[in-house]
Structures are given as structure tokens and as C-alpha cells.
């Protein structure tokens, strides 16, 4: 701080407190709503403090499900989301590491062609090629499967670039030393490069886990089997019920359950998260 201005300090805290309130209030309301019986949420104004139905509501959600989603227990949806998020994350990191390794540490024909091919994926998000991608997945028989949820999303230009950038900073002497010790390329990759990349992998893991967990359009397209619904996509069946009134206490409970894992990851690994976010966007 350059100078002491009490009024400005007061204003600073006021802005921050307002900002925090604005960001937290919707989740507060969702938390409160999820602890009330259905009747409490049928007339306005709705309560602003917790009710006594928390245990009942969440037990019902996790074990019994909600009619609007065909009665699939949310524990099943959470599991599906988890499998999908982990599959996407691990897949993206694994194939990006090997691609970046090949592009940086080998000289081979078509190297740059592959590089640009991967670069192009940045410009083709799912949203702009919805139907044809769906057709490809359908013709491969991957609709309603975990592999259909995961494999089409594992290509990652950002992760490849991040690792490539990092590998370029690794000193050449390490390769020379490894070669003098007669270590082959795979040995070098496994014993030297991977341990060096640990922090980068961890930071990227957080960002990609959130990305995978929050997927919406993709599961919406390729799952029609209720047992494969992910939770982020499943909530749409509860909220958007057309003419009917959504069952708010269950819908909000679902929202809370759906945001716990990614929010927990961000809060528990804050420093890595910030590193991953700032670096993967470069």
C-alpha cells in the first residue's frame, strides 16, 4: 500500500465483502433449500435459514433418486461423473505427455504435420461439430458406454503445448547424461522426464478434472441410458421440467452434491489450481 487512506481501506473491504456475498449467496440458498421439506418451498418468501430435513433429503437423493430422472440414485450419477472425469483427465495427460515427448525429443518425418493437426483441435470445440461427431460415435457403437463418454474428449492441444513448453526448458545435458549411461528413450522418459514433470502434471490434473466433471453437452448427446447419466447433465431433467414445477428441495440438493467434488479440489489444492489455470491458458 502506498499511502494510508482509511476511507479507501473501508471501501476496499466493502467491495470484497459484497463480492463474496454475491458469489456465495446462490449456493447458500441452495444449501438452505436442500434441508427443507417440499412444502416449505411451495410459497414465497422461502426460508433463509436451514430446515431439519437435511438427512432425509440427502438420503433419499443418494439412495432412491428422483422420479424426474427415472429414479436413478444420485450415488450412481456421482460415480458416472467420477469415472468420466478421471478417465478424461488421465487420458488427456497420458496422451499429451507422449505426444509432447515425441515432438520435442525426436526428429521424424511429418513431425510438424502432427503438431498442427493437434493444434487445430483448439478451434473445433464439440459445440461446432455436434451432429457429425455424434454420428461417428454412433457408428463405432460407443453410444451409452463409458468409453464413448471419455475417448472422444481425450485429445488436448492445451495439455500437449504445456508439456512441450516444459520439456523445452529441461536441460539438454540430462539427455546427454542419460545417453552416456546407455539409457534408451523410454527409460529417459520414465525415470527422468516424468519425475521432473510432477508439479505440472498435478496442476493440470486439477484443471482437467474440473473440465471433465463439468461436461454437459457431450453426456447429453451420447447417453440415453439413465444408468449412465452424469450428475451435471442429470440435473437438467429435474430443473427443466416444462410446465410442471420442479421439486426444488431435491433439485438444489442435487446441485450441491454435483458441485462438492470440483469445489473441494479447488479449495484443497488452491496453489496448484492457480498455477494450472494460469499456465494452461498461455
Partner 1 sequence: MQKRVVFRNWWLPYLLVAPQVAVTLVFFIWPAYQALESSLYIEDAFGFSRNFVGLENFEALWRDPSYLRSFRTTLVFGLSVTVLSMGMALALALAANRVIRAATTYRTFLIWPYAVAPALAGVLWFFMMNPSLGIVAYWLEAVFGYDWNHYVNGNQALIMVIIAAAWKQISYNFLFFLAGLQSIPKSLIEAAAIDGASPARRFWTVVFPLLSPTTFFLLVVNLVYAFFDTFAIIHATTSGGPADSTSILVYKVYNTGFVGQDYGSSAAQSVVLMVLVIAMTAIQFRFVERKVTY
Tell which positions 54-83 bind partner 1, by CB under 8 A.
none
Q: Kindly tell me which residue out of 54, 202, 239, 269 binds partner 1, with binding defined by CB under 8 A.
A: 239
Q: Which run of H or of E encompasses 237?
A: helix 231-239
Q: Kindly tell me which residue out of 62, 83, 86, 95 binds partner 1, with binding defined by CB under 8 A.
A: 95
C-beta of 27: minimal distance to partner 1 in Å? 7
Question: Given the complex with partner 1, which of 94 and 194 has the nearer CB atom?
Answer: 94
- Burial bucket for residue 279 (CB in 10 Å: 0-12, 13-18, 19+): middle
Q: Roughly what angle, to the nearest 10 degrees, separates helices 157-169 and 74-105?
A: 40
Contact region with partner 1 (CB under 8 A), list: 52-60, 64-72, 82-90, 120-128: 120-128
Inter-residue contact 247 to 38 (CB < 8 Å): yes
Inter-residue contact 248 to 41 (CB < 8 Å): yes
Inter-residue contact 197 to 29 (CB < 8 Å): no
Question: Given the complex with partner 1, which of 55 and 131 has the nearer CB atom?
Answer: 131
Q: Which run of H or of E encompasses 88?
A: helix 74-105
Question: Given the complex with partner 1, which of 203 and 258 has the nearer CB atom?
Answer: 258
Binding to partner 1 by residue 244, rule CB under 8 A? no
Return the residues of window 158-187 that contact partner 1 according to CB under 8 A: 160, 168, 172, 175-176, 179, 184-186
C-beta of 171: minimal distance to partner 1 in Å? 10
C-beta of 59: minimal distance to partner 1 in Å? 21
Number of residues that bind partner 1 (CB under 8 A): 109
Question: Given the complex with partner 1, which of 55 and 120 has the nearer CB atom?
Answer: 120
Inter-residue contact 206 to 279 (CB < 8 Å): no
What is the grid cell recorded at 66?
428422483
Map residues 188-217 to x or -, x wherever contact with partner 1 holds by CB under 8 A: x---------------------x--xx-xx
Binding to partner 1 by residue 107, rule CB under 8 A? yes
Whole-angstrom CA distances from 241 to 31, 155, 237, 280 are: 21, 34, 6, 37
- Burial bucket for residue 52 (CB in 10 Å: 0-12, 13-18, 19+): exposed
Question: Given the complex with partner 1, which of 52 and 176 has the nearer CB atom?
Answer: 176
Q: Kindly tell me which residue out of 4, 108, 180, 181 binds partner 1, with binding defined by CB under 8 A.
A: 108
C-beta of 154: minimal distance to partner 1 in Å? 6
Instruction: Report the alpha-carbon distance of residue 255 to residue 126 in Å, rounded.
Output: 24
Whole-angstrom CA distances from 127 to 85, 123, 183, 214, 215 are: 19, 11, 45, 15, 12
Q: Kindly tell me which residue out of 44, 181, 182, 198 binds partner 1, with binding defined by CB under 8 A.
A: 44
Amino acid at each position: 500500500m502506498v499511502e494510508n487512506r482509511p476511507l479507501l481501506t473501508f471501501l476496499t473491504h466493502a467491495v470484497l465483502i459484497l463480492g463474496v456475498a454475491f458469489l456465495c449467496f446462490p449456493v447458500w440458498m441452495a444449501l438452505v433449500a436442500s434441508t427443507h421439506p417440499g412444502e416449505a418451498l411451495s410459497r414465497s418468501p422461502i426460508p433463509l435459514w436451514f430446515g431439519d430435513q437435511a438427512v432425509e433429503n440427502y438420503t433419499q437423493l443418494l439412495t432412491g433418486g428422483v422420479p424426474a430422472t427415472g429414479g436413478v440414485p444420485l450415488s450412481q450419477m456421482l460415480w458416472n461423473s467420477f469415472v468420466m472425469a478421471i478417465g478424461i483427465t488421465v487420458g488427456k495427460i497420458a496422451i499429451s505427455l507422449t505426444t509432447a515427448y515425441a515432438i520435442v525429443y525426436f526428429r521424424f518425418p511429418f513431425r510438424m504435420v502432427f503438431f498442427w493437426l493437434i493444434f487445430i483441435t483448439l478451434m473445433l470445440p464439440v459445440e461446432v461439430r455436434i451432429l457429425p461427431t455424434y454420428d461417428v460415435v454412433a457408428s463405432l457403437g460407443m453410444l451409452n458406454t463409458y468409453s464413448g463418454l471419455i475417448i472422444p474428449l481425450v485429445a488436448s492441444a492445451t495439455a500437449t503445448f504445456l508439456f512441450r513448453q516444459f520439456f523445452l526448458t529441461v536441460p539438454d545435458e540430462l539427455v546427454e547424461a542419460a545417453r552416456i549411461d546407455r539409457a534408451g528413450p523410454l527409460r529417459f522418459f520414465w525415470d527422468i522426464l516424468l519425475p521432473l514433470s510432477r508439479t505440472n502434471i498435478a496442476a493440470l490434473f486439477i484443471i482437467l478434472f474440473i473440465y471433465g466433471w463439468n461436461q454437459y453437452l457431450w453426456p447429453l448427446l451420447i447417453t440415453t441410458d439413465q444408468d449412465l447419466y452424469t450428475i451435471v447433465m442429470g440435473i437438467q431433467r429435474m430443473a427443466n421440467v416444462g410446465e410442471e414445477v420442479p421439486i426444488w428441495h431435491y433439485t438444489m440438493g442435487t446441485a450441491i452434491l454435483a458441485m462438492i467434488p470440483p469445489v473441494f479440489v479447488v479449495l484443497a489444492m488452491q496453489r496448484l489450481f492457480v498455477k494450472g489455470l494460469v499456465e494452461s491458458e498461455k
